[in-house]
Structure formats: C-alpha cells, structure tokens
Amino acid sequence: MAWPLLQLLLIAAPTAAGASSAMTPDGPAPWPEQFHAVLFTNLTNVSIASSGPPLRLHDLYYDWPRRRNLNLIQHQLSGDPLYDVEWNNGTTFYFDSATCRTEQFPVGVLRPGWLADGSAVYLGRETTGGFDCHVWGKAGFIVYYEDALTRRPVRWNFIDVTGIEQFVMSFEVGVVLEDDSQWQAPAHCFLDEAANKTNEDGDHVAVSNGVMDAARLFRKFAGAAAAY
Ligand SMILES: *[C@@H]1O[C@H](CO)[C@@H](O)[C@H](O)[C@H]1NC(C)=O
Ligand SMILES: *[C@@H]1O[C@H](CO)[C@@H](O)[C@H](O)[C@H]1NC(C)=O
Ligand SMILES: *[C@@H]1O[C@H](CO)[C@@H](O)[C@H](O)[C@H]1NC(C)=O
Ligand SMILES: *[C@@H]1O[C@H](CO)[C@@H](O)[C@H](O)[C@H]1NC(C)=O
C-alpha cells in the first residue's frame, strides 16, 4: 500500500531538515549577489582606536552585478557619515562632507564566494547573540559566524590589532541602493595633485580612523585571498 510510504515521507521530511542544520555544512553559504546589511561595529582594541570612537554603524550595500560596494559608516553620535565607495577597477573613494581619500586596491569588489570558495576552515559551533552558529575561519584573517538554521551571516571578527567585530543587525537580500547620488564621489575627491597632498595632511578621514577600517580589511583580505 502507498499510504504508509507517504506517511513515512511526511515524517522523514521535517526530520531531515532538522538533521541538516545539526550537521556540519560543506562550507559557509556564499554571499547573495545583492544585499543591504546593517552592521554594528566595535573596534574592541580601544587603545589602537583612540583617534576615533570605537563604535560605529555600517550600512553595507553589496551589489555584485554592478560590481560596486558601499559602506556608509556612522561613528557614534556623529552627524557626518563616512562613505566608502568601492569600484571593481580597484578604486575606492573614502569621503565625508569635507574630506576625501582615494585608494587603489589591486582586486576589486569582493566576490560572493570570497569566503565560501576554497579554503574556509570549519571552527565548530557556537552561540553568539542568541543564534546557534557554524563558525568559519579563513587565512588567519577572519572568524565568521553563520546562523545554522538560515545560513545568514550573524557576526564576523577580524584577526587584526584593531579587534574589529561586526554584528549583523539586519540582512536584506536583494535590496539595492538605486540612488546614484549616494555612489557618486563628491567634487572634493577630484582636486588637483597639489590640493590632494594638502588635503591628506589634515585629513579628517584619515585622522578619524587612524586605523584600517573594516571595509579596508575586507579589501586587504580580498587581495590576500586572490593570491591563493
Ligand atoms: C566593545 O568591545 C569592548 C572590548 O571587548 C567591550 O568591553 C565593550 O563592551 C564592547 N562594547 C559594546 C557596546 O559592545
Ligand atoms: C574606477 O571607476 C570609478 C567609477 O566609475 C571612477 O570614478 C574611477 O575614476 C575609476 N578608476 C580608474 C583608475 O579608472
Ligand atoms: C591592541 O593594540 C595595541 C596597540 O597597537 C597592540 O599592541 C595590541 O597587540 C593590540 N591587541 C590585540 C589583541 O591585537
Ligand atoms: C588627485 O590628483 C589626481 C591627479 O591630478 C586626480 O586624478 C585625482 O582625482 C585627485 N584626487 C584624489 C582624491 O585622488
């Protein structure tokens, strides 16, 4: 009779789903091609962050199809956000309302598989922020917590003197920042060479960070990962 078999399947299905979150996955999930995440950032090593406040809020707009990435960074109680706009040609514009730095990175925007492809090391299972997570590490550079149930990123820590820890407060797959004015570097990013130099000395952007910020660490990492 077919009936007991159907019953078996109905019983087996939820069990299998439950079991899969209990097992070690093959690797972390790749990033979706487009998402918006709000990240709470703590530069836990305050001594190195002394030139800037240790707590920040990041709006991360990851847009792989258009090969661009934007980090909108707000320091605690500061009304002047920092923009970190990264293009696939390696140019990154790092600016606020008054200052700008341009940096060139040999690799462009992080690939969706930057963590999932290749050499992520499984570090075990841990609860963080109340979420049961699979924990992954890569290249002695990052520790990455992924929700065992939904496979969304929950948190990551950079293995770096800054001790940057980022906590994923929201993760909206498919959300794109369409407003091109948000991506456009302002006029003060396009000063002449002499003005550039003067700009860099008293540079608010440089001073207020004083350290590699999380977005830069990611890029440094992408550069390192590309060499593997
Ligand atoms: C930030 O990190 C420091 C060092 O680990 C910790 O003492 C502090 O409580 C953290 N702050 C917040 C708001 O999580
Ligand atoms: C890279 O692309 C951006 C955005 O189109 C542009 O502003 C920048 O000048 C480009 N950089 C180089 C080195 O071509
Ligand atoms: C924190 O920063 C100080 C000053 O740069 C450094 O000596 C120390 O190693 C850092 N701590 C960690 C845990 O990386
Ligand atoms: C700096 O000077 C170069 C050369 O004139 C220019 O291409 C660039 O846009 C300027 N601005 C920055 C922030 O690099």
Residue-wise pLDDT tens digits, 52-72: 778 999 999 999 999 999 999
- The separation between CA 217 and the C-alpha centre of its own chain, rounded to angstroms, equals 9
List per-residue pLDDT tens for the chain, 228 residues long: 444 544 444 444 444 444 455 677 889 999 999 999 999 999 888 776 556 778 999 999 999 999 999 999 998 898 889 999 999 999 999 999 999 989 888 888 999 999 998 789 999 999 999 999 999 998 788 999 999 999 999 999 999 888 899 999 999 999 999 999 999 999 999 876 545 444 443 334 443 444 456 777 777 766 554 443
- Quote the ligand 1 centre to 26 CA distance (angstroms): 32
Half-sphere exposure of residue 227: CA atoms within 13 angstroms, side-chain side? 7
**Which residue, 203, 176, 195, is CA-closest to 95?**
203
Query: Any idea which ligand is nearest the CA of 95?
Result: 4
- Ligand 4 pocket by Cβ (under 6 Å): 100, 102, 189-193, 196
Q: 3-state DSSP call for residue 39?
A: strand
- Interior angle at CA 39, CA 118 and CA 178, nearest 5: 90
Q: Is any atom of ligand 2 closer than 6 Å to the C-beta of 68?
A: no
Torsions phi, psi of 204, nearest 5? -60, -40
